[in-house]
Amino acid sequence: MIELEGASVVVDSPDGPVTLLGPTTLTLDERRVGIIGANGSGKSTLARLLNGLALPATGAVRVDGLDVATQGREVRRRVGFVFTHPDAQLVMPTPLEDVSLSLRRSVPDKAERRRRAREVLDSIGLADRADVPVHSLSGGQKQLLALAGVLATGPDVVVADEPTTLLDLRNTRTVADHLFGLQQQLVLVTHDLALARRCDRVLVVDDGRVVHDGAAEAAVEHYVGLVDV
Ligand SMILES: Nc1ncnc2c1ncn2[C@@H]1O[C@H](COP(=O)(O)OP(=O)(O)OP(=O)(O)O)[C@@H](O)[C@H]1O
């Protein structure tokens, strides 16, 4: 369960503090939560609050009762984060090594780590790419690999920030099907309204505020209404 209580995000700028997200109070316990809104509206800022990549300037963010500001490490163990650009996350030469790296804290034995990494790669459809150079993977395969690295750590929640924005239709479907097939809670920032419609609850963000919160179809309509004005 994710709770935001008057949580805001403020950054410094040469002209003084700038509020990226105004005080926001929410409890997120649905299995699939979507976040939609225009470019620069604050979606990523809200997503980054959920695992402590951004810290609240006011209020608090808690995951299963753990405070992101003071218990960041425990929160990040529970909340995995998938970035738009998989290259931000992939650091090792091969998929097997990359997923093994994610397991380094939880699985001390190297052979066991590699066995588990193969299992995770298999579960995401990359078993036959385990030992190829990461740079030879397609964009969709790289995004799946980034997701595999996150899943290997056993999170309870996966926050994915526009994970399909760089992908073509086929790869979008593959990545989305994996995300929506997860047992874990999914918080998905997306510009893809078809994906937003698959969520149980959708937040619409505009100008640093959550301006609508509810069932998917009504939320998409609200967002379209903002654009049409
Ligand atoms: N560190 C920062 N310093 C100053 N401004 C920032 C910083 N990070 C983000 N912003 C600004 O805050 C606003 C919200 O950014 P955010 O990345 O949350 O938007 P977004 O809704 O995810 O946009 P997009 O759909 O384009 O990814 C944008 O105007 C952005 O330029």
Residue pair 55/69 in contact (Cβ under 8 Å)? The answer is yes
**CA gap 208, 21 in Å, rounded:** 4
* Residue with CA nearest ligand 1 atom 30: 40
**CA gap 8, 49 in Å, rounded:** 9
Kindly report, residue by residue over 110-127, the tens digit of the pLDDT: 999 999 999 999 999 999
Single-letter amino acid, residue 113? R
Kindly report, residue by residue over 5-25, the tens digit of the pLDDT: 999 999 999 999 999 999 999
Instruction: Provide the 8-state DSSP code for 135.
Output: G
Exposed (0-12), middle (13-18) or buried (19+): which is 97, by Cβ within 10 Å?
middle
**CA gap 217, 130 in Å, rounded:** 39
Kindly report, residue by residue over 136-146, the tens digit of the pLDDT: 999 899 999 99
Sheet hosting strand 209-214, strand order edge to edge: 79-82, 157-161, 185-189, 32-37, 201-206, 209-214
> What's the pTM value of the predicted model, to 2 decimals?
0.94
Pocket test for ligand 1, best of 10, 21, 41 (most atoms within 8 A of CB): 41
- Binding site membership of 34 for ligand 1 (Cβ less than 6 Å): no
**CA gap 162, 83 in Å, rounded:** 7
Exposed (0-12), middle (13-18) or buried (19+): which is 117, by Cβ within 10 Å?
buried
Kindly report, residue by residue over 159-185, the tens digit of the pLDDT: 999 999 988 898 899 999 999 999 999
Which region holds residue 128: left if phi is over 0, alpha if psi is between -120 and 50, else beta?
Answer: alpha
Task: Kindly list the structural domains of the chain, giving each domain's residue range(s) and its CATH number in brackets, ordered by start.
Answer: 2-228 (3.40.50.300)
* Token digits of residue 213: 């919160």
| Ligand 1 centroid – CA 126 distance (Å) | 33
| Ligand 1 centroid – CA 161 distance (Å) | 12
